[in-house]
C-alpha cells in the first residue's frame, strides 16, 4: 500500500496520458496496467475546448485519480501559473511539479523547483516534485513542505532504466518515511511481479551447490 498525502493507493504504477496513438489505446493501457493514478498535462485539456473536454471526460470515465503536471515549464512563474490553472480545471490540490532546466536532457532546475514548491505548498497544493537524485535537493524540498519525492530514473522518454541505482538506494535509506516515486526514463517496469519478488526476499547464500531440480522421479539414475 502506497500512501500519498493521506490517500492510500494500491497500485505503485503511475501512468502518463501523452503520445498514445488513440484514446482507445490509452483507455486499454490504463485498464490493463491497473494503475490508480494518471498524469495529465494542462496542454491536453483546454478549458472550453471541444477536443480537450472529450479527453477529460474519457479520463474521468476510467475511474482513476488525476495528477496534473506542469510539463515543459522552464521557469518558476510558468510552473506556478500552470499549477493554479490545473487546480481550477481538474479540481484537485495534487500537482506534479516540473521546472525544466535543460532543453536536451529535460533535467529539473532544482533551484527553481524548490522555489516553486514553496510557493505552491503555501497555497495549499500537495506537491509531487520531479527532482534529481540529490539528497540535499531532496532535503530542501521536504523543508518546503513536500511530502512526496519524485527522483528521476533517467532522462524523460529515454527508456534507459535506472542510470544511478546507488543514488536511488541512498535516497530510500536517507528518507525511510517519505514516499518515493521513481520517475522518467524507466522503460519497462514490472510492477506486480517485481513487487512480489521484492516481498519474497532473496535466497540465503550457501557454501555448496544445491541442485534446483529434485532427483526423486528421475527417469535415469547415474
Catalytic residue numbers? 96
End-to-end CA distance of the chain: 50
Question: By the 8 A CB rule, do 53 and 95 touch?
Answer: no
Buried b (16+ CB within 10 A) or exposed e, 97-128: bbbbbeeeebbbbbebbbbbbbbbbeeebbbb
Asked if residue 129 lies in contact with residue 80, where contact means CB atoms within 8 angstroms, the answer is no
If you write DSSP's letter for every residue of 96-127 in order, what string do you get? EE--B--TTT--B-HHHHHHHHHHHHHTT-EE
Which residue matches cell numbers 518546503?
144
Distance CA 204, CA 70 (A): 45
Q: Yes or no: say if 114 and 140 are a contact pair by the CB < 8 Å rule.
A: yes
8, 16, 85, 222 from 149: Cα distances, Å: 16, 17, 22, 58
Q: How far apart are CA 133 and CA 131, in angstroms?
A: 7
Supply the DSSP symbol for 194. H
Amino acid at each position: 500500500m502506497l500512501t500519498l498525502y493521506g490517500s492510500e493507493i494500491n497500485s505503485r504504477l503511475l501512468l502518463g496520458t501523452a503520445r498514445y496513438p488513440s484514446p482507445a489505446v490509452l483507455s486499454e493501457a490504463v485498464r490493463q496496467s491497473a494503475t490508480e493514478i494518471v498524469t495529465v498535462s494542462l496542454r491536453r485539456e483546454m478549458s472550453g475546448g471541444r477536443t480537450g473536454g472529450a479527453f477529460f471526460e474519457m479520463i474521468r470515465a476510467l475511474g482513476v485519480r488525476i495528477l496534473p503536471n506542469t510539463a515543459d515549464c522552464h521557469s518558476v512563474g510558468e510552473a506556478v501559473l500552470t499549477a493554479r490553472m490545473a487546480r481550477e480545471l481538474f479540481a484537485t490540490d495534487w500537482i506534479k511539479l516540473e521546472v525544466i532546466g535543460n532543453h536536451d536532457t529535460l533535467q529539473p532546475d532544482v533551484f527553481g523547483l524548490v522555489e516553486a514548491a514553496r510557493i505552491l505548498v503555501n497555497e495549499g497544493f500537495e506537491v509531487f516534485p520531479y527532482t534529481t537524485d540529490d539528497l540535499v535537493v531532496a532535503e530542501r524540498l521536504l523543508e518546503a513542505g513536500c511530502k512526496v519525492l519524485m527522483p528521476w530514473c533517467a532522462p524523460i522518454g529515454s527508456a534507459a532504466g535506472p542510470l544511478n541505482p546507488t543514488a536511488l538506494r541512498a535516497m530510500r535509506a536517507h528518507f525511510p518515511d517519505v514516499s518515493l516515486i521513481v520517475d522518467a526514463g524507466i522503460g519497462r517496469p514490472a510492477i506486480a511481479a517485481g513487487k512480489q519478488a521484492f516481498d519474497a526476499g532473496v535466497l540465503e547464500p550457501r557454501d555448496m551447490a544445491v541442485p534446483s531440480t529434485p532427483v526423486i522421479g528421475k527417469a535415469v539414475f547415474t
